[in-house]
Amino acid sequence: MTTENDTRTDAADPRFAALPARPGKIVAVHLSYSSRADQRGRRPAAPSYFFKASSSVAATGGTVERPAGTELLAFEGEIALVIGAPARQVSLADAWDHVAWVTAANDLGLYDLRANDKGSNVRSKGGDGFTPIGPDLIDARTVDPAGLRVRTWVNGRLVQDDDTAGLIFPLAQFVADLSQHFTLETGDVILTGTPAGSSVIVPGDVVEVEVDSPATGATSGRLVTTVTQGEGAAFDAALGSLPAVDDTQREEAWGSRVAAGLPAAAPALSPELRDKLERTPVAGLSQQLRKRGLNNVTIDGIRGNHPDRKIVGTAKTLRFVPNREDLFDSHGGGYNAQKRAFDAVQEGEVIVIEARGESGSGTLGDVLAIRAHAQRAAGIVTDGGVRDADAVAAVGIPVYSAGAHPAVLGRKHVPWDLDVTIACGGTTVQPGDIIVGDADGVIVIPPALAEEVADAALAQEEEDAWIAEQVAAGHPVNGLFPMNAEWRARFEAREQTR
């Protein structure tokens, strides 16, 4: 590192060799680049932040350990700002004057530990060695903050390449915004977020991050980190949550379902198909599926809290396992699979819960029903119980369940995972299956058959309506239901004149 006024106080500690001193605070931005926001499908209206421990800082050329029993260690190449003069309630116009240096950082994170700390990222981002910084500092006075670039290589392949023109918020805004709430002190570091391209790294991988100013040629140099494999038991369930991953975490860590080796997500229902299914009774769909050899497609043992309301949507699955006290300790509290499912449900999806037909406790209550309704979910289906049944009904979202029960989830269940194949009411349900429910019950339709089945069911409905008219007019059902050749000819002649 080359910089004037070298005032570092931790020169003996190689972790802080690239900084003027051990930082008192490291503040990181959650989502800041347009490319990353597009990848995640959400764009923040304002910056949000989390803290990282200064003990997570590492020097260039070092290693980072992927703990035993984990799989989703991900890199994030970032621009780091080092505060040179205390900032308290500074304006946007003056904020950059409080930044002394710019350098490269790698905001490493372990997605296996996100579940119970999502948002705070205390454990998932705070591990020893999870914040490599350096190797050299760029004088912030010599560069345009709107003209900086960050690039990342993994094993020599360029995987991230973006510049500050792609930021949703300018760099100075982070300084001004944070200074509204607390004093940014000399030596504090702000990690300004990562662009698209962040993904999973494995033992043996070498990650390099560089920040530069193409206009001036100033550069941080390449920040090099090698991934190693941890040995032995890394975490004790008696002390806290164990690592846990699901397909949602894998998709976010790798950057896409394809990169994570997951099957492509089922396409959302087209408006045309949704309209057809809205007009088709479940009984008619059941009949058509049976004609095609599918008999085990009804979710049995459940009733709707709004029988006059139809549900049509794609399945978002959630699985509970039988309660075991040690497993509930590790998987039941905090930001567990149940809460993650209700936070992640998308508009038009139906949350389908495997509760093994166990109705001796609730599987959701009014708060989660409100969350699903706010997310514009199409409905909720569970073969377990519902707490706060009157309050859930008042929310307005259709819920099919095995009935009301006052007990909390933990009496019978441990929330285990989501976005997996489940069994609900004796029927297999896969993520993306089409769920249709009405007063007769709930049915599961394989997406590949949905259009064909809907068209056939609507045609059958029209035929049945004509038969009903003939019976109402006094004709006997013999030969009419089902139609013999004579009645079939009459029906087809009528259709041709319409």
Query: H/E element holding 254?
Result: helix 247-254
Provide the pLDDT for residue 396: 93
Q: Which two tokens stand for residue 182?
A: 């607390």
Provide the pLDDT for residue 237: 74
Segments in 88-130 forming alpha helices (H): 92-95, 122-125
Q: Do the Cβ atoms of 447 and 395 come closer than 8 Å?
A: no
Q: Do the Cβ atoms of 184 and 178 come closer than 8 Å?
A: yes
Site of tokens 């079939």: 488
Provide the pLDDT for residue 6: 45
Closest by CA position to 187, among listed 7, 4, 3: 7
Site of tokens 């193409």: 214
Q: Model pTM?
A: 0.61
Q: Which two tokens stand for residue 484?
A: 């013999």
Angle at 170 between CA 168 and CA 173, to 5 degrees: 115
Q: Is 132 left (phi over 0), alpha (psi -120 to 50) or beta?
A: beta
Query: H/E element holding 250?
Result: helix 247-254
Q: Is 442 helix (H, G, I), strand (E, B) or coil?
A: strand
Q: Is 264 left (phi over 0), alpha (psi -120 to 50) or beta?
A: beta
The Cα 244–Cα 110 span in angstroms is 10
Q: What is the pLDDT along the chain (498 residues), one digit of tens a residue?
A: 444 444 444 557 889 989 999 999 999 999 999 999 888 777 888 999 999 999 999 988 899 999 998 999 999 999 999 999 999 999 999 999 999 999 999 999 999 998 777 778 999 999 999 999 999 999 999 999 999 999 999 999 999 999 999 999 999 999 999 999 999 999 999 999 999 999 999 999 999 999 999 999 999 999 999 999 988 777 877 777 778 888 888 888 898 888 888 876 656 688 999 999 999 999 999 999 999 999 999 999 999 999 889 999 999 999 999 999 988 888 888 778 899 899 889 899 999 999 999 999 999 999 999 999 999 999 999 999 999 999 999 999 999 999 999 999 999 999 998 888 999 999 999 999 999 999 999 999 999 899 999 999 998 888 888 888 888 989 988 988 888 888 888 888 887 777
Q: Which two tokens stand for residue 41?
A: 């499908």
Longest CA span, the chain: 102
The Cα 280–Cα 262 span in angstroms is 32
Please name every residue paired with 184 in a beta bridge, in sequence order, or none if there are none: 87
The Cα 177–Cα 180 span in angstroms is 5
Cα 434 vs. chain centroid, distance in angstroms? 20
Annotated binding site for Mg(2+): 388
What length is written for the chain? 498
The Cα 65–Cα 210 span in angstroms is 21
The Cα 363–Cα 58 span in angstroms is 44
Domains of the chain, start order: 14-254 (3.90.850.10), 271-451 (3.50.30.40), 454-496 (no CATH)
For 1, residues 6+ apart whose C-beta sits below 8 A from its C-beta are 17, 18, 134, 135, 136, 137
Q: Which two tokens stand for residue 128?
A: 């020893």
What CA–CA distances, in Å, run from 24 to 53, 57, 85, 191, 493?
Answer: 9, 12, 13, 14, 85
The Cα 360–Cα 372 span in angstroms is 23
> What's the Rg (C-alpha) of the chain?
29
Please name every residue paired with 157 in a beta bridge, in sequence order, or none if there are none: 154
Q: Do the Cβ atoms of 140 and 84 come closer than 8 Å?
A: yes
Q: Do the Cβ atoms of 311 and 427 come closer than 8 Å?
A: no
CA dihedral 254, 259, 262, 264 (to 10 degrees): 120
Segments in 317-472 forming alpha helices (H): 325-331, 337-344, 366-374, 389-395, 450-472
Burial category of 189 from C-beta neighbours within 10 Å (exposed 0-12, middle 13-18, buried 19 and up)? buried
Provide the pLDDT for residue 469: 87
Provide the pLDDT for residue 4: 41
Site of tokens 């959650």: 30
Annotated binding site: 365-368, 387-388
Please name every residue paired with 133 in a beta bridge, in sequence order, or none if there are none: 105
Q: Is 384 helix (H, G, I), strand (E, B) or coil?
A: coil
Annotated binding site for substrate: 365-368, 387
Q: Are strands 311-322 and 434-438 parallel, antiparallel or unpaired?
A: antiparallel
Closest by CA position to 98, among listed 175, 157, 35: 175
